Structure 1
Amino acid sequence: MESCFDVAHLAHVEIYSDKFDESLDFFLNVYGLTLAGKDDTSAYLRAWDDYEFHTLKLTRHTSTGVAHVAYRASSPDALERRVKAIEQSGYEVIGWIDGDAGHGRAFRFRDPFGHVFEIYYDTVWYEPPEQEKPKLKNLAQRYHGRGCHPRRLDHVNLLASDVNEFRRFMETCLGSRVTEMIQLDNGRIGGCWFTINNKGYDLACTEEHGRGDGRLHHVTYATDTREEILRAADIFLENGVHIETGPHKHAIQGTFFLYVWEPSGNRVELANAGARLILAPDWKPIVWTETERKKGQAWGLKTIETFHTHGTPPVDAKQGG
């Protein structure tokens, strides 16, 4: 499949919290994001070198999980091409919305598993207030060093009962490429890692084991160094945050990782991917077997059981729309 660059990058993720105030305090003071704006229902958050107004929208809700995943198109014409492709794809179309505090009009659509996506072009570039202005004008915001202080949004991981069908959705609607994948012994695909530019990946989809729909596995922000992740582990420890697994190194994609649960139960990650880029235009997906994955992570750490079973919202909770 020929690469399509109509989509520029993963732009932001909206997640629900049923403990909004606690979650907001976590993301601001422990995780280390910056509050760009707030209204009656949502807080708009960003890492210190994200160029857009926000990359995480935290919304007050009766449950948890992902509300929508947003991508920015490469141009107005590219947006129209993608919208046409999505309308002709056979997947569910929600239609145009006016946008919100961080961007202009956006086109929304849904995958077969209940996840809502949107794509837009017109965006709001972050204009830092005086106290957040960097000394170096090629940075989006000053390096504040608060909490774990990640640099940028990196990726999101969603759950689906049929990863192969999700792959078709991503390739058809967003022009994504698969960089790595897991082939299970039973013939199913256990996971796929997707990119729409030269990053190793910006979205992953892994197999749903909880019989849920439209669920979130995790959202990830990137740090500059591994040492920042080691420091983050101590920060999480001192603040009573549940550390699920890590720090350690993934076999797939080679990222150095640390997973925690924020106060409402959504899984969030800090990761350092180093300088790994996919520059080959004819890249062939790396295929991992079930036997290889059972060996654990890169240095032998076994994958913790909750990593396969925990997602948000919980399967026995009412899911939001």
Structure 2
Amino acid sequence: MPVPTTPSFDIAHLGHVELLTDRFDDSLDFFTRVYGLKLSAQDEGVAYLRAWDDYEFHSLKLTRADTTGVGHIGYRAASPQALERRVAAIEASEFISHGWTDGDLGHGPAYRFEDPSGHLFEIYHDTRRAPREGADEPALKNNASRFHAQGACPRRIDHVNLLSADVAEFRRFMETCLGSRVTEMIQLDNGRIGGCWFTVNNKTYDLACTEDHSGGRARLHHVTYATDQREDILRAADIFLENGVHIETGPHKHAIQGTFFLYVWEPAGNRVELANAGARLILAPDWEPVVWTEADRRKGQAWGLKTIESFHTHGTPPTDPAQRKGDA
């Protein structure tokens, strides 16, 4: 049985993901008009986006590039002192550090470092809040901003799924650098770990890592925003259908983590999920990771839907030219 990880709680939550696109205008139209994120700010080739109840200025940074995939993953530390502790832990480890940056439009100074697969991470504490005045003023003062009902209109960022050739090494990185703990995992028959689901707080997970068989590096599997209820996802499926968005799989329910899901490809080919995580929380401080075997996985998702082949092969940036620009 895997040994439970002692919670650190130096890191408060997943803050934002930078997504790269080689079809910037099309991707921005998808994320605002169809997916339903709010535009906080836009500069030449960069857009700062958030869901209507994300309290920070942005949870998605969309960046014009000549490729696709993830630029970096940002986590907010619980305090300035917690940020110092995590930086000290990173610098004491053998993992690659890139040092301090001045920050971004949405947050203050950030410390950057790299996982064994080449994904770039940053942690910060000083942050900029989402605007709450004018057209963004909410009717209820405990909402981050006004509910706008545009497109699928998710409530908040939920998690990101990264790909790695060595999930066990990635797990060591997450536990060492971010103080994460594993809530669920896939144990393969050959002894390798096929996937791990991590949390830095009491959510069931805010980051997942699954095994990459492509030979690529620093690849993205998907980024996910959360809805309030399953019916929001059913409505979103019709919205995606009406707008010609490639629906890859779902709506259905995952066995691992129990989330109700819908996966689509945005115009540049990055996989994006809508999920309803329900009320599951990890409250036990001595939680032991739930282990799923290959025999368990062969049963399919919670209600029997088999995982489609592209879920194991498609990632961004693609290693297969046929996967470019959202070709289904």
**1:112-261 matched pairs, under 5 angstroms:** 112-261=116-265
Query: SS at 1:205's partner residue?
Result: strand
Q: Shift of residue 244 of structure 1? A: 0.1
Query: SS at 1:77's partner residue?
Result: helix
Q: Shift of residue 75 of structure 1? A: 0.2
Q: What's the CA shift string for 1:107-161, capped at 9, x where partnerless?
A: 0000111100000000001123401211111101111110000000000000000
Q: Would you say the 8 A contact 2:51–2:154 is kept in 1?
A: yes
RMSD: 0.7
Q: What's the CA shift string for 1:239-289, capped at 9, x where partnerless?
A: 000000000000000000000000000000000011000000000000000
Within 2, Cα distance between the matches of 1:243 and 1:272?
A: 17
Q: Given the alignment, which residue of 97, 101, 104 partners 2:108?
A: 104
Look up the equivalent residue of 2:173 and give its one-letter code. F
Look up the equivalent residue of 2:88 and give its one-letter code. K
Query: SS at 1:190's partner residue?
Result: strand
Q: What's the CA shift string for 1:76-102, capped at 9, x where partnerless?
A: 000000000000111000110001110
Q: Shift of residue 294 of structure 1? A: 1.1
Query: SS at 1:182's partner residue?
Result: strand
Within 2, Cα distance between the matches of 1:164 and 1:81?
A: 24
Within 2, Cα distance between the matches of 1:209 and 1:24?
A: 30
Look up the equivalent residue of 2:164 and give its one-letter code. A
Name 1:299's counterpart in structure 2. Answer: 303
Aligned length: 317
Query: SS at 1:11's partner residue?
Result: strand
Q: Does 1:42 align with 2:46?
A: yes
Within 2, Cα distance between the matches of 1:127 and 1:300?
A: 43
Q: Shift of residue 316 of structure 1? A: 5.3
Alignment TM-score, normalising by the size of structure 2 = 0.96
Q: Would you say the 8 A contact 2:224–2:272 is kept in 1?
A: yes
Look up the equivalent residue of 1:296 and give its one-letter code. G
Within 1, Cα distance between the matches of 2:94 and 2:202?
A: 28
Q: Given the alignment, which residue of 18, 28, 43 partners 1:24?
A: 28
Query: SS at 2:56's partner residue?
Result: coil
Within 2, Cα distance between the matches of 1:261 and 1:184?
A: 28
Query: SS at 1:82's partner residue?
Result: helix
Within 2, Cα distance between the matches of 1:303 and 1:316?
A: 20
Q: Would you say the 8 A contact 2:24–2:45 is kept in 1?
A: no
Compare 121-130 and 64-73 and name the one that shifted more: 121-130
Within 2, Cα distance between the matches of 1:128 and 1:56?
A: 18
Q: Given the alignment, which residue of 99, 121, 125 partners 1:95?
A: 99
Gaps of 5+ in 2: 322-328
Q: Shift of residue 308 of structure 1? A: 0.3
Q: Shift of residue 315 of structure 1? A: 1.7
Name 2:37's counterpart in structure 1. Answer: 33
Within 1, Cα distance between the matches of 2:248 and 2:174?
A: 29
Identical columns (%): 74
Name 1:278's counterpart in structure 2. Answer: 282
Look up the equivalent residue of 1:265 and give its one-letter code. G
Name 2:65's counterpart in structure 1. Answer: 61
Query: SS at 1:311's partner residue?
Result: coil
Q: Shift of residue 211 of structure 1? A: 1.1
Query: SS at 2:303's partner residue?
Result: coil
Within 2, Cα distance between the matches of 1:239 and 1:41?
A: 24
Look up the equivalent residue of 1:63 and give its one-letter code. T
Compare 149-158 and 308-317 and name the one that shifted more: 308-317
